[in-house]
Chain A
Amino acid sequence: MPDTFNYFSHQKFTPNYIHGIDGEYENVSSATSESACTSVLEAGNNIMFTGAMGIIDFSATNEVERKEMTYKTGSSMTGGHYINGKHTTINVQAGASCMRMFIFDAAYGSQINAIGGADFTNINFVAPGNDGVTVATDDTVGAQPYTFQGTGHETSVVHAGEMTINGSGSGDHTRGDTTNGQGTFHCGYEHYDFFSGPSDHRLQNIDTDYRATSTGQSPDFVDIRNARVGMTNVAKRPNLSGSQPNVNPGIFCTTRNGEYYYLTNLLAADTNWGQWWAGSSGVEKSHLRNCTNSGYTDADVSQEAFESYFATKSIWNGNQLLEGDGHSTLEMGAFYQYRDDNIGVANSFEMLQLASQNLWRIDSGANDVVTYGNSIQSNNTSYGDIKNDAADGTVTGNNSHT
């Protein structure tokens, strides 16, 4: 934190805001540009926005930590928002709309709170690790998590557009809007998202004001809860050639090699999706709880639903995968207990269009897992059963039927 920053030393009556009560800046309606907003943000905490905002780069405030900003009902964020101050809190009220993405870049300990029917396009929590789990005896102790907290399924994290970026260099390079989407919650730059696509699409090439990013940027300790998520057409994901994997976002969250992810009470209803949870085998000690995916991923061969990996010491419980009214053909499986010592308990599945792969698979190298008390209804007794290649865990008490 810069030495000059002081919560209680405010500027007053600049052209960019109307002064409310002390310590609180209300009705910042004229801050429609980056420069206007950053000049406001130098003031302090409790800043409330009511206008329409273009691209906002909060790094211009010299990474001021511990800010809080509220986007009030009726405000709209028409451009991307870039935040790199630690412990930043963003409150978005019902009726506010965030049309492009939020990027939290090494802003450890930051949080978004959505109140009611707030609307987001895409949220990115990026940075390696956790900046250290501290053992201080002051308020910096412990983990510094990224947190998204909606109020329920009325909070929306849906990108409206298709993913038109592709390997040929064509497509819109802007930050994600009605023609470009990047999935819902992205936690990292490595392979899975448009940041790490072909070189001409990488973030630093899109806008040189942002810092260059590299691989291995997935944070540890991410808590995402209480929202409806969706994306329009995962078939339009970047289709990279050569050894690069396709960008294949998870409907609930996409990451790689971070640890301690907590995904709770998320609903993907009638949306396209590639995976529930796009994480690598290194995403350990993660929890997927009480999440529901209801219907619709297209049967197009270019957008198969792919397995969601569950790595060491993960817990997934109380989730539902329901076919709903749309196409839910699973061509490459769905749930994959891939590493040791994870637990899948009390989940419920209804999938009547299984195509060629198992709904649920336990890898041969996944030792000592617990798969207990789950219910599967499907059209296929083979693919619909739990395929247990490990055979040394506790896989019992499950019900599979057609």
Chain B
Amino acid sequence: MPKYSQTINLEGHSGIHSEEYERIVFTRGNYTAVEITGDYNVIIINAGCRFDGRFIVSGNYNKITIHNDVNFNNGILIGADTDASVGVGNHIKCLGKTFVTRDPNDYNDHSNYALQINGNYTHWEGSGMNTKVALQTASSKRTYACVIGRQADGDAVSAPTKWCIVEKTNFMVLYDGSSHGAGKLALLVSGSASDIACGHLIAGNWFGSLGEYDTSVSAGQDTTGGGGMVELNAGTTRFVENHIQPVYTGGINLGVYGKRNIVLFNHVAHGGSYGLQLYQDNCVVSGNLIYWNDAKSSSTSSMNIGSGVDRAVVAGNRGGNRASITDNSTNSSVSNNELGAL
């Protein structure tokens, strides 16, 4: 059969789609659970579509374009829950207002993700701040808005997910009004893979709902109490030109826990604990603006480099609050940073 020989219009047709090399259009309306198991399809999701069940892409090399005002109300999984070799090379591109979340009524008892990227070579391309991936907290449950290489049971995928691009998206975890839950992150990149060259690129994203600092957290505000905003646990990850700005936070805004990570030109505001914590070797942190609101303690450094760190480069950053970096590392170059209250 010639490739791309037909256009398959799916009007409210949920379920499994195993077509290959076709043009598949989600035309309109509400869908329940959908799984794309086929490969090499061009998939269009029309404006106004709603996905009330989970949207899963377990096929390979599909090109998915999401038009304006599409909501994924029960999460997206790219790949499989425990295997990075499933659902590889998919490109998901958003064009306008996109909203990805999970229904708290469907949370499991452990770890809950709105956007779960497990397949290698996944390219998630938001439309900018108009693409929002948000979760609400729930009592005694973990809520991570986006994870790369993470299983539903909370563990890392055993063979880590590699070579993903995540860009131009606004991630956040929102306080549900009653509980901060049991651990929160706007983005968690892999885990148990700090020594492994994973090669992810995290660029041009926003973390937090981007309002100004507010000490009185209320429903709908960002909450990272008991957690941070972003954790990079994969080795050789680039975190470039992102903007972290929750309106409220009790945790570390940016944790750099993978070897050879590169952190450049980010704007990190409103840190609750350290703005940036660096705990692995051979990382580069340069050209970042890291500060928090004046209401925070002036005794906490904007940046913290752990005692086990060897050969870090931390240069050319503007750090707020305390006029020094907490540096317990060895063989590092920590210089030419401008520090002190903003």
Q: Which of A2-58 contact B (CB under 8 A)?
A: 7-8, 21-24, 44-46
- Give Cα A147 to B127, complex, Å: 8
A89 pairs with B342, CB closer than 8 A: no
Pairs A–B under 8 Å by Cβ, sample size 13: A21-B27, A87-B69, A89-B96, A111-B96, A113-B96, A142-B170, A143-B170, A143-B206, A143-B211, A145-B128, A262-B243, A289-B265, A373-B315
**Which B residues lie within 8 Å of A139 (CB)?**
71, 97, 99, 101, 132
- Per the 8 Å Cβ criterion, residues 254-280 of B in contact with A are 264-265, 267, 269
- Quick check: A313 and B209 within 8 Å, CB to CB? no
Within 8 A of B (CB), among A84-141: 87-89, 91, 109, 111, 113, 133-137, 139, 141
Nearest A residue to B247 via CB reads: A135
Contact yes or no, B220 A136, CB < 8 A: yes
How distant is A71 from chain B, measured CB to nearest CB, in Å?
A: 13
Q: Which residue numbers of B lie inside 8 Å of A, CB to CB?
A: 9, 11, 25, 27-29, 46-48, 67-69, 71, 95-97, 99, 101, 127-130, 132, 134, 136, 168, 170, 172, 174, 176, 204, 206, 209-212, 218-221, 241, 243, 247, 264-265, 267, 269, 286-289, 291, 315-318, 320, 336-338, 340, 342
Residues of B close to A343: CB separation below 8 A: 287-289, 316-318
| A231 located at the interface, meaning its Cβ lies under 8 Å from any Cβ of chain B in the complex | no
Give bound CA distance, A171 to B243, whole Å: 43
Q: How far is the CA of A5 from the CA of B310 in the complex (A)?
A: 60
Whether B127 and A317, one on each chain, are in contact in the complex, defined by CB atoms closer than 8 angstroms, is no
Q: Cα distance A147–B11 when bound, in Å?
A: 30
Interface of A is mostly: loop
Number of interface residues of A (CB under 8 A): 60
**Which residues of A pack against B, CB within 8 Å?**
7-8, 21-24, 44-46, 66-68, 87-89, 91, 109, 111, 113, 133-137, 139, 141-145, 147, 149, 221, 223, 225, 260, 262, 264, 285, 287, 289, 313, 315, 317-318, 340-343, 345-346, 368-370, 372-373, 393-394, 396-397
Inter-subunit contact B267/A315 (CB<8 Å): yes
Partner of A133, one of B96, B210, B218, B265: B210
Closest to B221 in A: A135
Residues of A within 8 A of B269 (CB): 313
Are B287 and A142 touching (Cβ within 8 A)? no
Cβ of B315 and Cβ of A372 under 8 Å apart?
yes
Which residues of B lie under 8 Å from residue A66 when comparing CB positions? 47-48, 68-69, 97
A373 and B170 form a contact (CB under 8 A): no
Q: How far is the CA of A57 from the CA of B320 in the complex (A)?
A: 47
20 extra interface residue pairs, beta carbon distance < 8 Å, beyond A66-B69, A68-B68, A142-B170: A8-B29, A23-B48, A88-B68, A134-B209, A139-B97, A141-B174, A142-B172, A143-B206, A289-B241, A313-B267, A315-B287, A341-B342, A342-B318, A345-B265, A370-B336, A370-B337, A372-B287, A373-B287, A373-B316, A394-B337
